[in-house]
């Protein structure tokens, strides 16, 4: 949900108000506390405190109990606009609030020190004994906070204003909902999410891991992960070949001049690894593929007859993420991106842009993603020349082009200001996993600025030079984020086509080992990823081992099967078929793989 829409909801006001109630409860127990900010966030709220003593998870219970007592008092929330001097007097013993007041008064800065669009008013909200520097909004009265629909969740450390140079504060997270059933459903989803956590399952299923000597945020893919990567690449290549893409390859290292010309370096310097200098020239490991694709487009003259040109690459990119922001495969420093750039004329734009959107939807159908939101991310006028390319006319024109394309294609979307790429508007795609967990996955971006910087041209029908539009797209995101999502979406029980191990052959006794080895060899000859468990464990232990690795098919072979030349099939879902022919099973599994079917 876009932030401005979220702020209009009752749920947002409930969560914001619950953060204030929590702060009051904390101050009741620890009156010397210095308090900072307490915003609503997705699924809940938090407040950051500079506490006089350490607290633990056990302390949350008493804070939560005190919150319910405060809520039961039915205290109104009242707003008052005040001067900076009045604010300083009210918060004279709160240094963090004084710092915020100074920012609001002098620079129009928000709580993180970022410039605001306009100089804001200074306001406070009071409820019961707690007064906070706050712009709101809040509920009218604490009676609108259901005492059975909120819960304090966890404690974490957080630097003041997110800056590692500042003091580490104590952050208390909570969640709040309109109804108790909403809270119950959310907590159930969290329990399911723990079971499906891609970091946990990724290790258990031998898909990926991280190593301190290699470095944080740099995943190492095990053979099982390598298989999944190859399957996703194969899928992308197949879909893109049908859609008329050409595959290219570019180096992982390039001179500084390339990113200065593209304009990426000034905008993305903080998220790029430091340069290395050789022979007086600075080189960067590449954080994105687009400048090199622009070079490939410009390598020879282009005509309108050549357009659209669609260049695709699973290129490896490197971006510096702060250590505290790294999260499994979802936030990494090394990534392999399902990247492509489409160069087209203005007349071709709508068809090409919607072709990408259609590709998204095909992938969603394939992976059983039923819920998604497409967000049109726009620029802000105040960010021109700083955060965005300074050309208001082209911003408005290309934003309208994207808007009309989506409307003409009958594709629902929401709009969000100040979320665009520096060079143009984009469609950002939010998806939900099978248990309702939200992920930011893919993007479809318009670039009206960089092609001109690279002097990209084609000869149009009138024989004149024209600058093409460029569409950046990555419908399968990166291998890292996509596989992280799929692990959680399927809880590690992947469709047969994507499963690293598709079949495990299990002989009941050693007497069937030779037969089992032969069956496994025949399956491998047909391109089926198969292993035979020939160790001396009992059959039940072998089945349990295969189940833990979430192998889709187990072929259990006893003396009857060996004598008859048949197999007994046990599915990961508990289904069972006894004494079927090898040919019948082979046809079934090959069909499932060829169709990339979701069913067993």
Tokens matching residue 320: 């510096």
**Residue ranges per structural domain of the chain:** 3-180, 202-490, 503-595
* The pLDDT of residue 406: 94
DSSP class per residue in 92-138: TT-HHHHHHHHHHHHT-B-TTSPBPSSPPPEEEEEETTEEEE-----
Tell me yes or no: is domain 3-180 CATH 3.30.980.10. Answer: yes
- Assign domain 503-595 to its CATH superfamily: Anticodon-binding domain (3.40.50.800)
Given a cut of 70, is residue 188 above it in pLDDT? yes
CA dist., res. 7 & res. 375, Å (int)? 17
Domains 202-490 and 503-595 agree in fold: no
Residue-wise pLDDT for 66-81, tens only, equals 999 999 999 999 999 9
pLDDT in tens, 303-349: 999 999 999 999 899 999 888 789 999 999 999 999 999 999 999 99
Verdict on whether the full-model pTM lies above 0.85: no
| SS3 (DSSP) at 181 | helix
Q: How far apart are CA 61 and CA 410, in angstroms?
A: 49
pLDDT in tens, 485-512: 999 999 999 999 999 999 999 999 999 9
Six-digit token pair at 125? 């909200």
DSSP letter assigned to residue 596: T
Question: What is the model's pLDDT at position 107?
Answer: 65
CATH number for the 202-490 domain, one of 3.30.930.10, 3.40.50.2300, 3.30.750.80, 2.60.40.10?
A: 3.30.930.10
pLDDT the model gives residue 385: 78
Q: Across-strand partners of 566?
A: 581
The tokens for 588 are 């079934």
Separation CA 506–CA 342 (nearest Å)? 49
pLDDT confidence band for 160 (50 / 70 / 90): very high
For the chain, the average pLDDT equals 93
pLDDT at 28: 97
pLDDT band at 179 (very low <50, low <70, confident <90, very high): very high
Say if CB 191 and CB 172 are below 8 A apart. no
The radius of gyration of the chain from alpha carbons, rounded to an integer in Å, stands at: 28
DSSP string for residues in 390-407:
S-HHHHHHHHHHHHHHHH
- Taking the CA atoms of 287, 291, 293 and 296 in sequence, report the sign of the dihedral they define: negative
CA-wise closest residue to 222 among 235, 203, 236: 203
């Amino acid at each position: 949900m876009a932030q401005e829409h979220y702020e209009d909801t009752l749920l947002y006001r409930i969560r914001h108000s619950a953060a204030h109630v929590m702060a009051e409860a904390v101050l009741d127990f620890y009156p010397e506390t210095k308090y900072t900010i307490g915003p609503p966030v997705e699924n809940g709220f938090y407040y950051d405190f500079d506490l006089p003593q350490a607290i633990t998870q056990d302390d949350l219970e008493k804070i939560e109990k005190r919150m319910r007592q405060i809520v039961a008092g039915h205290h109104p929330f009242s707003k008052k606009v005040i001067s900076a001097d009045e604010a300083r007097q009210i918060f004279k013993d709160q240094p963090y609030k004084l710092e915020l007041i100074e920012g609001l008064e002098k620079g129009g800065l928000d709580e993180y020190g970022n410039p605001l669009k306009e100089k804001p008013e200074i306001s406070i909200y009071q409820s019961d004994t707690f007064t906070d520097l706050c712009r709101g909004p809040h509920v009218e009265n604490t009676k609108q906070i259901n005492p059975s629909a909120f819960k304090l969740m966890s404690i974490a450390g957080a630097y003041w204003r997110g800056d590692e140079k500042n003091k580490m504060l104590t952050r208390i997270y909570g969640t709040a909902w309109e109804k108790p059933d909403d809270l119950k459903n959310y907590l159930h989803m969290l329990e399911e999410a723990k079971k499906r956590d891609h970091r946990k399952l990724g290790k258990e299923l031998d898909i990926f891991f991280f190593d301190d000597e290699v470095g944080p945020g740099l995943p190492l893919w095990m053979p099982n992960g390598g298989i999944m990567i190859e399957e996703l690449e194969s899928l992308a290549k197949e879909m893109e070949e049908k859609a008329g893409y050409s595959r290219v390859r570019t180096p992982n290292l390039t001179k500084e001049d390339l990113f200065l010309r593209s304009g990426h370096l000034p905008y993305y310097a903080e998220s790029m690894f430091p340069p290395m200098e050789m022979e007086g020239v600075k080189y960067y490991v590449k954080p994105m593929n687009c400048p090199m694709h622009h070079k490939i487009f410009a390598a020879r003259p282009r005509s309108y007859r050549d357009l659209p040109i669609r260049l695709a690459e699973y290129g490896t990119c490197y971006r510096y993420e702060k250590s505290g922001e790294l999260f499994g495969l979802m936030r990494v420093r090394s990534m392999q991106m399902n990247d492509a750039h489409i160069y087209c004329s203005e007349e071709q734009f709508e068809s090409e842009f919607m072709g990408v959107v259609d590709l998204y939807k095909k992938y969603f159908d394939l992976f059983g993603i039923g819920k998604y939101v497409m967000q049109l991310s726009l620029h802000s006028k105040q960010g021109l020349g700083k955060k965005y390319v300074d050309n208001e006319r082209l911003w408005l024109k290309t934003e309208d082009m994207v808007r009309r394309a989506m409307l003409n294609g009958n594709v629902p979307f929401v709009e969000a200001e100040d979320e665009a790429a520096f060079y143009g508007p984009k469609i950002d795609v939010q998806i939900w996993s099978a248990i309702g967990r939200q992920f930011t996955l893919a993007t479809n971006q318009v670039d009206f600025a960089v092609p001109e910087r690279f002097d990209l041209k084609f000869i149009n029908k009138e024989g004149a030079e024209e600058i093409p539009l460029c569409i950046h797209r990555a419908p399968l995101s990166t291998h890292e984020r996509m596989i992280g999502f799929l692990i959680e979406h399927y809880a590690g029980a992947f469709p047969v086509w994507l499963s690293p191990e598709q079949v495990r052959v299990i002989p009941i006794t050693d007497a069937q080992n030779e037969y089992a080895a032969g069956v496994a060899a025949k399956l491998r000859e047909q391109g089926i990823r198969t292993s035979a468990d020939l160790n001396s464990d009992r059959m039940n232990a072998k089945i349990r081992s295969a189940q833990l690795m979430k192998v889709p098919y187990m072929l259990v072979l006893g003396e009857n099967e060996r004598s008859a030349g048949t197999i007994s099939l046990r599915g990961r879902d508990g289904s069972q078929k006894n004494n079927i022919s090898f040919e019948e099973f082979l046809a079934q599994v090959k069909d499932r793989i060829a169709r990339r079917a979701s069913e067993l």
